[in-house]
Structure 1
């Protein structure tokens, strides 16, 4: 489908449907909300024309009250604003559902990045064998994190699911009923979810989306590329899981929680297998076969409800038995049903998704210090002496002898073997250390296993350092080199198949170094670590902590991976997915399958189809480095500006993130009252800029760097770089996506603010500069010109939430002035966060 055909189709099946179904809202049974549908377009219009005329949000909202309502008291006005927010939230859900339902019609089986497309390309280029070769040991892994960027409670998620189906069949009656249900269903959690709640809400997706979508995709690849000599390995597409295992900055994740989540994952996959087996048995009703499958069904039932041990191998053994009878006695009738089910059992085992443990290196150090002091009686020692002493100790430490954090860390490590026994080795096999910047950070974790009584050969866990700050990335090579040479760790790696996973944190990197610098530093770190690992005979796997929006390393995922050249190890593509990215990119079967395909083909094609645009020449490298340094300097100056943190604290929604009850984790590290830049978590940091419609982390410094070269008469070099390097091009297009979601007129009023006016102007000037120079660079006439579907989607979403932003800014202005009921205005700000973030789901 051509760009303009797609855009026209989008207009017909998304925009038009939204207009039609939106009118159903008019008759919804909202309490006292009958006239909201009539009033909203006025607030929308007042906002649009008002901002363009330079009016403040306060003026716009007050004029709306005056011109279109006869409300007199502050209480009445606040009540109306809350009702408008509720109404807009539901409009966002409707638009999400319509866009999701349209997905299959807007994408085809032969799109770039699909398995079919990869087959056709490889067939024409005589590269089928090379593709099969790559598929032998390649894998893609999506790791679901608990990071709170999704605001729909489970009850709303389920309505979304049903609404999408009703829209697919254009069932007006069902849509009407579901919109009525939506009108009466609360959108807000009364209290913060627990880590268990977070885990269960993602397990819902595992069961009702990924069990089928991954199984079907596996089958599609098998039938497309498989033959008598080639068998696809079942670990090709993997799932990882952080809720309940990620305790970094989350005091509510305990050893007990981790154990319970592991059990929930095990039960969920056994239930999925049990249900699947039911449908297989409906077909395989033949003598001999049905008895074997009946027995398996009973075994699954007791494993689920009586918690008896059942391993994937046991299930497979039964299925092999049934297959033998089917082939020998029943002409292999319906054998595909059986094989398909066996594939699912091999893919998901009894674990469903691999539960990771993650903790901050500073907490680990505290644990090591306390245990060392107790064992040795010494107060002073080097870090190396501490971990070596603990590694060599023969005595198992009693966790009960220590305070909370030490005790819980040791209990978590102690129960790993038990979880591995219940869920299989794939159920839990790695420990991730955030803020890694030294060898001790990895060796400390190895020491934990030793003091918890594990013998060396019993430590069936990968230890994964996470490098995220600019400093951490710069140290990565030195740290890994020392580790690879450490005799104790060398032996551990041998037992783990000489494979090392290294995680790289994009979101904290961007927060620390700015957009261009962070992406370039991570790219270079990957190259250096690839070379170092190869020299040491280690197969390295990079695990990318890529968030949703470009400002957190996200953006167009297929393009990102397809642009990495042969200097970066490509053994596996592994990345984190969270919050609204789960629902918007992997939220239903069609989308999930399509996006898994895109990742898989990006990795496979990268090795098989060579392109000069993937390899950076020395000249291109020098130029990107130069641009990265200039932009880093510009971004660092901004960070060092005395108004940087105060601006976010006083003018944005930063302070309100912690009050939203969306995640179980506190929104900042550290306990002090004074907010320091280092304590800011990447998600509220990036999110607050997004709420202000300024998206600073997604572009700041990039345009300035290009402008500097332009002033030196070297802009031609930048154009050549854009045309010649896929990596640089992807960075530019992702940054333009960030800018397309900005709307500076919303905050024009700040330019006259005595305290923040000058700071606001710095941001606005850089935005204008970046936008103009990127349009000049790309030859586009508008941002996101190359992606009309995403551009249209953004535009409609921005239109839906504009009144919401007016209300949010209005409330913030009231709070700043200390006028009226500031508590109620605070609630208004928090409440407006929800719809706004849910609406920006295509930030991914």
Structure 2
């Protein structure tokens, strides 16, 4: 088989898709006559029609005239719904084909990136240095339930079986699974609860992460046993469903406790399975009995039939130590590696499996403390709001007292108070790592951090050590630019220094790509985050604090996604990288961690990127003053262009009236509302990043992934500095990663789909502005990268995107057709037609969201 990436993809995915898709289209899946037969004709009509400049309405109407002129409008709508269902399932087929071919497409040999790094370190005499790094290094992948892709559980099960059947070329089984898929609903009639989302994600924990992490860590432990066996943070999982309260009123303390219990149950089930496997091999005298007793204790806990308290970690460790000693002493060390592997998992996962993060918006935290102060006169100075920042922080650190949550009627305030105490309960049941971080969304600076510490003292912790990391999340460009100063101010506060002293002198800082891009545009957001990391690293090192950066990365590049290895491998010495932590959500979970091969590969890549940064000198990771000034200038010019666009009087009306923005709330994808602030008029600051970026994606315009980049580069060309940009691309990993990820966004645009808007009396000029900036951005990035087409150097991504975009084109055309009909229905006040076509728009969201899997 060829090693050429393009040919590999065509052979393993492209050709097989044609084979299985033709099989799929012939299945008897619906009552609408010959939907599968007509879908290829509609696909061709959409492609030809858009290339010839026809509107979506003209394309759909002409299709029906040619192929089903006897259909009534209701029959046409029924047919289009069936087309949507077919396309959704074709996307699943592509996912399964890519998963089944993952190791070959990605050309993964038996040695992962981590193993190759270890071998290189040994060859170059750096093995001791690598071992020292491994003692304290760590990667944390944090699973979130943000609604960028969620198949129902029954669909996930079919996808898993389909992957296996395709891998083993069991065509008959593939056909049956495709038919099952065709008759299984994708659409959820009701929004999932936060607990539902947690349950869905625990499937990945138990079925993918548990074994994949074990298989990744075990061979590394053979080379560096002392470092690996004692590092409980080498690879860890974080968890947001059930703990993330930011804008989600459906998350309560009861939810949080239920999720924590579910996480403990899931890891105990994994331990139980491993113990059963160990018993099958370790059947020796004085070995089998203690393992059997341990397995029964865990089984009894899972069944809820334990007569006494739950088993303790130290009891499991003691049993394993005894068993290993006997196996080594009396049984020639047979299968001792099974015991050692199990002990490593116990060290990594404890009883928590994944650490449950608690997150709340700074404005809710401030309102909570204000209401408490109103009920407790003297808690804060009367002139608190007029005090300086330092004086406010000092006053907050001096807060003492007790708060009774039942005194408060507002459920959000009451839950915010209770959430501090619930952390203590989780730590008692699941261990400290069960819940040890409180994340402050929309953090403005030291006062917001001080408020959280004050609430810990007031809400049950008193003067006891607070075994929780307070994590500020800087999101807007302004907050990112002041991040270094904010942390420096905190580090100089005695009370906070004392808290850090109890937290191993470590400070976690979260940086938000999604809201950063929404606020400042693509280039400025990335540069502001990079600069913030440098500033915060400098002040942290100066104060003797180890800073850990936690990146809020979304699925698409417009929200900080793209190639994670490229991103982290671009960090230079001026950015602390002893830990790599990032959120993973939606299509990123399924594409990066949906199968074991992918999970092992991508976790290995993250570990390698961070270790390389600390082990190997690479000039292309460092920015000199000229490069830094050039990127800053590009970012500022891009920001000015994006800010003017964002302030345009038609910006919000365009999104509200011409995109799918308002329909995300109707889609029942996730439990969280699509905007902050409840009801009322839509305001930019209340928009969540996911529906914001997603709406541009549904339009196939992808504005947040490129807007302003073309103008910034063109300005450099006009100033005679294009050669400097070309040189920057060749010499800077950071800049190359920026350009590559923007190319991904632009590869998924299709302005022919919305060209009809050019003639709109109100929005025509606005649409044209977006289109011209896209053309300019594409022209300039190709010049800078020296490429003839977008992603010329990444055939796998380019071909995957091309195939997926072709498949969803009928769905997107139907979506635009429905949006046009909705505007007509509103003008005619035809509520029945309005409801019919709004439902159609909602249904079209899913296929396009899921097809964007390769944006991860």
Bucket of the pairwise TM-score, normalised by the shorter protein: over 0.9
Alignment match, 2:384: 382
Would the alpha carbon gap of residues 556 and 230 (structure 1) be closer, same or farther in structure 2, given more than 3 Å must change? closer
Higher deviation after alignment, 651-660 or 456-465: 456-465
Alignment match, 2:635: 628
Counterpart Cα distance in 1 of 2:285 and 2:32: 62
Alignment match, 1:77: 76
Would the alpha carbon gap of residues 575 and 228 (structure 1) be closer, same or farther in structure 2, given more than 3 Å must change? closer
Pairing of 1:73-152 with structure 2 (within 5 A): 73-110=72-109, 114-152=113-151
Shift of 1:432: 0.3
Alignment match, 1:355: 356
Alignment match, 1:255: 253
Counterpart Cα distance in 2 of 1:492 and 1:723: 44
Deviations 1:431-469 (A, max 9, x none): 000011121211111111111232444310010000000
Shift of 1:117: 2.4
Pairing of 1:26-425 with structure 2 (within 5 A): 26-33=25-32, 35-110=34-109, 114-223=113-222, 225-226=223-224, 231=229, 233-306=231-304, 308-376=309-377, 380-383=382-385, 391-392=397-398, 394-403=400-409, 404-425=411-432
Is the CA contact (8 Å cut-off) linking 1:372 and 1:390 kept in structure 2? no
SS at match of 1:28: coil
Would the alpha carbon gap of residues 296 and 231 (structure 1) be closer, same or farther in structure 2, given more than 3 Å must change? closer
RMSD: 1.7
Is the CA contact (8 Å cut-off) linking 2:392 and 2:447 kept in structure 1? no
Alignment match, 2:563: 556
1:827 correspondence with 2:828: no
1:745 correspondence with 2:747: no
TM-score, length-scaled by structure 2: 0.96
SS at match of 1:253: coil
Counterpart Cα distance in 1 of 2:228 and 2:408: 54
Alignment match, 1:676: 683
Shift of 1:490: 1.0
Contiguous gaps of at least 5 residues in structure 1: none
Counterpart Cα distance in 1 of 2:522 and 2:583: 18
Deviations 1:374-404 (A, max 9, x none): 1116894315777766654553221111122
Deviations 1:763-808 (A, max 9, x none): 1101101111111111111100111011111000001000001100
Deviations 1:107-135 (A, max 9, x none): 34459971232134323433222222221
Kindly tell me the number of residue pairs found equivalent between the two proteins. Answer: 842
Deviations 1:294-335 (A, max 9, x none): 110111122222274223222111111111221122111111
Is the CA contact (8 Å cut-off) linking 1:259 and 1:419 kept in structure 2? yes
Counterpart Cα distance in 1 of 2:821 and 2:719: 47
Counterpart Cα distance in 2 of 1:708 and 1:339: 60
Is the CA contact (8 Å cut-off) linking 2:399 and 2:454 kept in structure 1? no
Counterpart Cα distance in 2 of 1:274 and 1:674: 52
SS at match of 2:470: strand
Counterpart Cα distance in 1 of 2:232 and 2:843: 44
SS at match of 2:700: coil
Shift of 1:176: 1.4
SS at match of 2:142: strand
Contiguous gaps of at least 5 residues in structure 2: none
Counterpart Cα distance in 1 of 2:155 and 2:745: 28
1:841 correspondence with 2:850: no
Deviations 1:714-752 (A, max 9, x none): 111111111111101110111111101111111111111
Q: Which residue of 607, 610, 614 corresponds with 1:603?
A: 610
Alignment match, 1:811: 818
Deviations 1:415-444 (A, max 9, x none): 221210100111111100001112121111
Q: Which residue of 620, 637, 640 corresponds with 2:647?
A: 640
Higher deviation after alignment, 386-395 or 828-837: 386-395
Shift of 1:814: 0.7
Counterpart Cα distance in 2 of 1:95 and 1:110: 23
Deviations 1:183-235 (A, max 9, x none): 11110111000000000000011001101001110112223x32678756232
Is the CA contact (8 Å cut-off) linking 2:510 and 2:550 kept in structure 1? yes
Deviations 1:699-723 (A, max 9, x none): 0101111101111111111111111
Counterpart Cα distance in 2 of 1:108 and 1:780: 24
Q: Which residue of 520, 523, 540 corresponds with 1:513?
A: 520
Is the CA contact (8 Å cut-off) linking 1:113 and 1:558 kept in structure 2? no
Q: Which residue of 420, 424, 442 corresponds with 1:435?
A: 442
Counterpart Cα distance in 1 of 2:763 and 2:217: 55
Alignment match, 2:455: 448
Counterpart Cα distance in 2 of 1:652 and 1:828: 14
Higher deviation after alignment, 240-249 or 176-185: 176-185
Counterpart Cα distance in 1 of 2:368 and 2:279: 52
TM-score, length-scaled by structure 1: 0.97
Deviations 1:500-528 (A, max 9, x none): 00000011000000011110011111101
Would the alpha carbon gap of residues 177 and 708 (structure 1) be closer, same or farther in structure 2, given more than 3 Å must change? same
Deviations 1:350-371 (A, max 9, x none): 0000000000000011110011
Is the CA contact (8 Å cut-off) linking 2:132 and 2:227 kept in structure 1? no
Is the CA contact (8 Å cut-off) linking 1:242 and 1:356 kept in structure 2? yes
Counterpart Cα distance in 1 of 2:89 and 2:654: 31
Would the alpha carbon gap of residues 387 and 621 (structure 1) be closer, same or farther in structure 2, given more than 3 Å must change? closer
Alignment match, 2:795: 788
Is the CA contact (8 Å cut-off) linking 2:553 and 2:582 kept in structure 1? yes
Is the CA contact (8 Å cut-off) linking 1:670 and 1:679 kept in structure 2? yes
Deviations 1:568-618 (A, max 9, x none): 001100000011110011111000010000100000011211111111000
Counterpart Cα distance in 2 of 1:170 and 1:470: 51
Counterpart Cα distance in 1 of 2:159 and 2:277: 26
1:692 correspondence with 2:694: no
Shift of 1:33: 4.3
Shift of 1:80: 0.3
SS at match of 2:4: helix
Pairing of 1:533-612 with structure 2 (within 5 A): 533-612=540-619
Would the alpha carbon gap of residues 559 and 217 (structure 1) be closer, same or farther in structure 2, given more than 3 Å must change? same
Counterpart Cα distance in 1 of 2:699 and 2:115: 42
Alignment match, 2:621: 614
1:503 correspondence with 2:510: yes
Counterpart Cα distance in 2 of 1:750 and 1:228: 64
Would the alpha carbon gap of residues 778 and 389 (structure 1) be closer, same or farther in structure 2, given more than 3 Å must change? closer
Is the CA contact (8 Å cut-off) linking 1:145 and 1:576 kept in structure 2? yes
Would the alpha carbon gap of residues 531 and 760 (structure 1) be closer, same or farther in structure 2, given more than 3 Å must change? same
